[in-house]
Amino acid sequence: MSEPTPIDQPVLELRNVHTHYGPVHVLKEVSLEIRPGQIVCLLGGNASGKTTTLKTILGMVSPTSGEVVIGGRIVNGLPTAEIVKLGVSMVPENRRLFNRMTVKENLEIGAYLRSGDTSEDLDRILKLFPVLEQRLTQRAGTLSGGEQQMVAVGRALMAQPKLLLMDEPSMGLAPILVTQNFEIIQQINQAGTTVLMVEQNARLALSIADYGYVLQTGRIVLNDTAQKLATNPEMRRAYLGEVD
Amino acid sequence: MDSLLWGVRLIAILVLIWGVAGTIVQGLNGAGPSAEAWRDLVVAGIAQGAMYGLIALGYSMVYGVLGFINFAHGEVFMAGAMSGFFVANYLWQVHFWDNYFVLAILLVLLTSVLTSMLVAVIVERVAYRPLRASPRLVPLITSIGISFFIQYSFAGLFGVAVKNYPPAPDSLRNRIGFLGLEIEGTKLAVIVVALISMGLLYLFVEKTRTGRSIRAVAEDKEIAALMGINVDRTIVASFAVGGVMAGVAGTLWSLLFRGVAFHTGFLPGIKAFTAAVLGGIGNLPGAMVGGLFLGTFEGVGSQLVLAGLGIPAVSQLKDVVAFTALVLVLIFRPTGLFGERLSSEDRA
C-alpha cells in the first residue's frame, strides 16, 4: 500500500468527536470526511448540532474527545486564529458583518492573517460581486440583505481558504437571492475551494452537493452521496417534506 | 412618566435661559467679569477639557472592547503624573530642568506615558482577564477595588503629601499672542499637545492594523477571532492605548497645576468618565468632544448660568455644574451627544 498523496488526503476529517456545552452532550461520536474539491452538506433540523460541528472545527468550542484533523494535522485545542491560518474560513450564520466598518474594511479584514498586498484578491471579489464596487466606502450596516451576504462571502474568500464553511447560507434571504447564492457557492467550488455547508433547506443543499451527512440530536444518522440521499425514502419523509 | 420627563426638560431650559439672561444683564450694567476674564475662563476651560478628553478616551476604549467602566482609569492617570514627578524633581535638582526644559519635559512625558501604559496593562492582566467570562457587573466592582488599591498603595509608598512639580520656565508661563488672543503659554501648550494626541489616536484607530482589530473586537469578538485576530492581545492593546493617553494627560496636568498626590486621579477620573458618557460611551470622537465640552462648561457655565441666578462664589461650584451638565445631557439625549442606540445586549 502506498502512502496517501496530499491530493487524496481529506481536507478535513472528524474522528469520533464528542462536544459538550457544560453538562449538555451536543455532538455524539461525529465522524465525517471531506475530500479536496467537494461540496459537502451537513443537514438536520433545529438543535441537531450543525452549528456546533462548525464551531468545533474552528476551535471556538473544544471537543471533549475525538479528533479534528485539518490537512492531516490534529488541531484539537488550537486557537481559532491558528485554525484559520491552516486555510479554513467561515461565512457565519446571519452574516455578522462589522456593521460600523466600511464594506472595503470588512473585505480587507478577511485577509487579516495574510501579509502583503491583497488588492488582487479584492479585485477578484469585486469581479465575483460587481455590485459591491460602488458600495466600498459605505458602512456595511447600510447594505441590503443580499449585498451583506455578498460581503460575508467575499470576506471569507479574502483569506484564500482551502476549505470554506458556510453556516445556513439561505437563512434570511429572499428566494431569488437564495438561488443566486447557491450558484455563487458552485462557482467558488469550481474555482478550487472545498465547501462544507450547513443548511436547513435540504433539497437545495443536495442539489449542488457531492456528499451529505444528516445530523439528528448530535449524532450522524445518515451519510451518502447527495444523489442517493435525495432519493433515500427515509430522507424524503423526514427532511425533504415529501409523502409517498 | 413621559410628561414628567418633558416637565423636567422644560424647567431645565428655563433655568438655563434665566441664568444666562441674568448674567448678560449684569454684564450690561458693568457688574460682571471683564472681557479678559471671560477669555481666560474659556481658555482655562478648554485646557481642562482637553485633559478630560484624553482621559475619557481610555474609558471609552475599554468600554468599547469589554463593555464595562474601568473605574481604575483615574489611577492610571495619577500613576503617570506621579512617576513623572520623580523624574521632573531629579532633573530640577541637577539643573537640567531649567537649562533644557523641552528635553526635560519630553523625558517626563515618556516616563509618565510608560508608567500609565504599564499600570493599565497590568491591571487588565491581573484583575480583568480572569473575570472575562463573568457578568459585566463583576469587573466593574473589581475596578472600584483596584482604584482604591492603587490609590492607597501610592499613598503608602510615596506618602500622602502633595508633591509639587518644579515650575515651568517663565517663557512658557507668560502670555503669548495666538490668533490675536493673549493666552497663557502653558495652557496653549496643553491644548495643542492634547489635540495632537487625540488626532494621532484617531489616525491609529482608523488607519492601522491594530486599530482596525480594536474596532473589530469592539463590534463582535467571536467574528474578530474568526478573522484570525488575537482577541486577548487586542484587548491589551486597547488598555495600553488608553494608558498612553492618560499618561499624556498626567504630564499636561502636572505642567498646568503642578501638585500631584495619591488622590489626584479621583476627581479628574470621574469627570473624564462623565465626559465619556456625555459624548456617548464607546464613541472615541464623542469622548474627545465630551471632554472639551465638560471642561469648558464647568469653567464658563458656572459663571454664565449661576452668576445670573444671583448665586455667590460660583467658581466653587464648578463640580456641581459639571455633574449637572451630565444630568442635563442625559435628560435630553440618554445615549450621549454622539451615542448610538444600544441594544439591550450592549448595556452593562
Of chain A, the end-to-end C-alpha distance in Å amounts to: 46
Q: Which of A80, A85, A110 sits opposite B225 (nearest CB)?
A: A80
pLDDT band at residue B238 using 50, 70 and 90 as cut-offs: very high
Torsion of CA A156, A143, A137, B229, to 10 degrees: -30
Q: Is B59 exposed, middle or buried (0-12, 13-18, 19+ CB in 10 A)?
A: buried
- Which B residues in the span 273-302 are in contact with A, Cβ-Cβ below 8 Å? none
Q: Test B228 with A99 for CB contact under 8 angstroms.
A: no
Residue type, A93: E
Q: Which three cell numbers stand for residue B70?
A: 474601568
What average pLDDT does chain B have? 88
CA–CA separation, A193 vs A107, rounded Å?
Answer: 18
In chain A, which residues have their Cβ closer than 8 Å to the Cβ of B210? Answer: none
Considering only alpha carbons, which residue of chain B is nearest residue A110?
A: B227
b/e B245-269 (16+ beta carbons within 10 angstroms → b): bbbbbbbbbbbbbbebbbbbbbebb
CATH number of B36-303: 1.10.3470
Which pLDDT score is estimated for B306?
77
Strand, helix or coil at A166?
Answer: strand
Residue A239 Cα distances to A206, A236, B211, angstroms: 11, 6, 46
A159 φ/ψ angles, rounded to the nearest 5 degrees: -80, 0
Q: If you average pLDDT over residues B109-113, what whole number do you get? A: 97
Element (H, E) at A148: helix A145-157
Torsion of CA B19, B25, B26, B32, to 10 degrees: 80
Pairing of strands A219-225, A211-216: antiparallel
| B222 closest CA partner among A153, A80, A108 | A80
**pLDDT tens digit sequence for B290-329:** 999 999 988 888 878 777 777 777 778 888 888 888 888 8
Which pLDDT score is estimated for B142?
96
Q: If you average pLDDT over residues B11-16, what whole number do you get? A: 84
Q: Which three cell numbers stand for residue B309?
A: 441666578
Length of chain A: 244
Which pLDDT score is estimated for B1?
59
Q: Which three cell numbers stand for residue A18?
A: 464528542
CA–CA separation, A137 vs B212, rounded Å?
Answer: 15
CA–CA separation, B6 vs B3, rounded Å?
Answer: 5
In chain A, which residues have their Cβ closer than 8 Å to the Cβ of B225? Answer: 60, 79-81
Candidate from A195-209, A224-238, B46-60, B135-149 with smallest mean pLDDT: A224-238
The predicted model scores a pTM of 0.88
> Do the beta carbons of residue B255 and residue B186 sit within 8 Å?
yes
| B76 closest CA partner among B296, B319, B273, B231 | B273
Q: Which three cell numbers stand for residue B94?
A: 541637577
CA–CA separation, B67 vs B346, rounded Å?
Answer: 7
* Continuous H helices in A25-68: 50-57
In chain B, which residues have their Cβ closer than 8 Å to the Cβ of A101? Answer: 212, 215-216, 219
**ipTM score of complex:** 0.87
Q: Is B35 exposed, middle or buried (0-12, 13-18, 19+ CB in 10 A)?
A: exposed
In chain A, which residues have their Cβ closer than 8 Å to the Cβ of B212? Answer: 101, 105, 108-109
- The shortest C-alpha distance from A98 to chain B (Å) reads 6
DSSP strands (E only) in chain B: 163-164, 175-178, 181-184, 259-260
Q: Which of B209, B219, B228 sits opposite A85 (nearest CB)?
A: B228
Is residue B264 predicted with pLDDT exceeding 50? yes
pLDDT band at residue B348 using 50, 70 and 90 as cut-offs: very low
Q: Which domains does chain A have, with CATH numbers?
A: 1-87+163-244 (3.40.50.300), 95-160 (no CATH)
Among B212, B226, B283, B343, most A C-beta atoms within 10 A, so best to mutate, is: B226
Q: Test B228 with A81 for CB contact under 8 angstroms.
A: yes
Which neighbouring-strand residues pair with A213? A42, A223
DSSP annotation of A49 reads: S
| B278 closest CA partner among B291, B266, B269 | B291
Strand, helix or coil at A157?
Answer: helix
> Do the beta carbons of residue B281 and residue B36 sit within 8 Å?
no
| B273 closest CA partner among B294, B253, B296 | B294
- Within 8 A by CB and 6+ apart from A138, the residues are A102, A103
- Within 8 A by CB and 6+ apart from B143, the residues are B68, B69, B70, B71, B72, B73, B127, B128
Tell me the torsion sign for CA atoms A56, A59, A63, A67. positive
Domain coordinates in residue numbering, chain B: 36-303
Residue by residue, pLDDT tens for chain A (244 residues) are 444 455 678 999 999 999 999 889 999 999 999 999 999 999 988 888 898 999 999 998 999 999 999 988 999 989 888 899 999 999 998 889 999 999 999 999 999 988 778 888 999 999 999 999 999 999 999 998 889 999 999 999 999 999 999 998 888 788 888 888 899 999 999 999 999 999 888 888 999 999 999 999 999 998 999 999 888 888 877 777 655 4
Element (H, E) at A68: strand A65-70
